[in-house]
Chain A
């Protein structure tokens, strides 16, 4: 009940701030433009592609690349994942650091809420916004699904991957916000950790190493499998583990706030 009360409070604060609306509107506009360009490229090559047996279709050329370009080698940058690397830190930066700098954090403690309820409530509210944002983004490729052949299983796996990636980035953002004294510091830290998780294995890949700890640490390794339509419990477990670890750190830090004052 208290978790829901915190989530409602955070969601309300998120929806009345112009930042969330501006970020949502601008990123969806960019994604729409990207979708139109990808669709144009697909239509231009449709006849040629149809001649290739087992060649890429709408799902491979338009739907999945709308979600991410980094991992599907699409020519145009900034899919949902690339946008999320920037907007998630901006959305999460104030959730705890903002309360701290405004002096409202003690109000939540004073309402008898333990740290885990505060962190979980805020996380759920942010996740709600991101799910809505992702739903609007995937509505673009889905809008043509009735008139085109779409590999729904592959697209569902890719969407699941994006959802897990967003949940992980949000958890990291909440953790950074719980440690930072100022929202801007939280945003920068969260952005850098996100970029690091994406690019941690670039060196290994360039050296031709496709296994090992470095590749396991990289968000991209786990997301790529899902974007290719393969749902593996090991990849899902990675996202769940990283999210749980980040949220546990946030809870620990917030509980220490109450102890230390």
Chain B
């Protein structure tokens, strides 16, 4: 087992929208093989943070270091380093499952036999083989979510960014997803998992970061923290945050 390396470092990043800070001075570090749970109530800034990490949004200020390089200076790093599953898994409705995987693989620079191997491996891993020729527009929500995850994994990125990946999955699929995340982490992939489900975090994460109104309120390893303690902490932060907002 190799020593963990820092895959992602957020250095006081901020993002404003309509004059309001959606993310404010956020600093975080994620190491290889680590699963970080990003918790927060709706509107806490989780999706904005993940979009900035994935390169789909630019922070107004701050610095993102990805695999030791300045990500804002070199946005093309996203191509090989990051796999991103946005919320609600956006897909091209008219393309088949296989075409999705091939398109994502090409966008990530894969071609020829490497592309075909990556496609087949990912189809098998996400149990999408039987759906290969089906167009995305007719997939169920759970199948769409799995396809979105497959697209994020096709190039075996060192950093996987998942925004509410358990949405619309049935309990069996949720269990399979948890196993997959742990398996990827054991192979050295760093995973950031955004969710508002505490059970999701306690089941798979090594560390938890709690966001409230765009600010990081808690960041600590999860070892020894049970579901009840995390729930208590989460509600305490949410309640305190609401009181601070009212006072302000």
Majority DSSP secondary structure for residues of B touching A: mixed
| A73 at the B interface (CB under 8 A) | no
State whether A111 touches B92 (Cβ < 8 A): no
Chain A residues within an 8 Å CB radius of B95: 12-13, 16
State whether A111 touches B78 (Cβ < 8 A): yes
Majority DSSP secondary structure for residues of A touching B: helix
| A51 at the B interface (CB under 8 A) | no
State whether B56 touches A106 (Cβ < 8 A): yes
| A1 at the B interface (CB under 8 A) | yes
* Distance in angstroms between the alpha carbons of A9 and B17 in the assembled complex: 32
* Distance in angstroms between the alpha carbons of A16 and B86 in the assembled complex: 25
**Interface digits, B54-89 against A, CB 8 Å rule (1 contact, 0 not)?**
111110000000000000000111110010101010
Chain B residues within an 8 Å CB radius of A16: 94-95
> How many Å from the CB of B72 to the closest CB on chain A?
11
> How many Å from the CB of A134 to the closest CB on chain B?
24
| A261 at the B interface (CB under 8 A) | yes
Nearest CB in chain B to that of A1: its residue: B109
A12-B95, A16-B95, A258-B58 known; A111 vs B107 contact (CB < 8 Å): yes
A103-B88, A258-B57 known; A9 vs B107 contact (CB < 8 Å): yes
A110-B56, A261-B57 known; A8 vs B79 contact (CB < 8 Å): no
State whether B107 touches A12 (Cβ < 8 A): no
Task: Please report the total number of B residues contacting A with Cβ < 8 Å.
Answer: 32
| B121 at the A interface (CB under 8 A) | no
A2-B107, A102-B93, A112-B55 known; A107 vs B86 contact (CB < 8 Å): yes
State whether B104 touches A111 (Cβ < 8 A): yes
State whether A261 touches B107 (Cβ < 8 A): no
| B90 at the A interface (CB under 8 A) | yes
A104-B92, A112-B78 known; A8 vs B106 contact (CB < 8 Å): yes
| A114 at the B interface (CB under 8 A) | yes
Chain B residues within an 8 Å CB radius of A192: none
Chain A residues within an 8 Å CB radius of B82: 110, 112
State whether B17 touches A106 (Cβ < 8 A): no
State whether B57 touches A12 (Cβ < 8 A): no
State whether A112 touches B75 (Cβ < 8 A): yes
| B21 at the A interface (CB under 8 A) | no
State whether A259 touches B58 (Cβ < 8 A): yes
Chain A residues within an 8 Å CB radius of B93: 102
* Distance in angstroms between the alpha carbons of A104 and B144 in the assembled complex: 13
* Distance in angstroms between the alpha carbons of A107 and B161 in the assembled complex: 12
Interchain CB contact (< 8 A) of A114 among B56, B75, B109? B75
| A216 at the B interface (CB under 8 A) | no
> How many Å from the CB of B162 to the closest CB on chain A?
13
Interchain CB contact (< 8 A) of B77 among A4, A6, A13, A112? A112
| B119 at the A interface (CB under 8 A) | no
Extra pairs beyond A107-B56, A113-B79 (20, CB < 8 Å): A2-B107, A5-B103, A8-B103, A12-B103, A102-B91, A103-B86, A106-B56, A107-B86, A107-B104, A110-B78, A110-B84, A110-B86, A111-B104, A112-B55, A112-B75, A112-B82, A114-B75, A114-B76, A258-B58, A261-B51
The 5 residue pairs across chains A and B that have the minimum distance between CB atoms: A112-B78, A112-B79, A106-B56, A5-B106, A103-B90
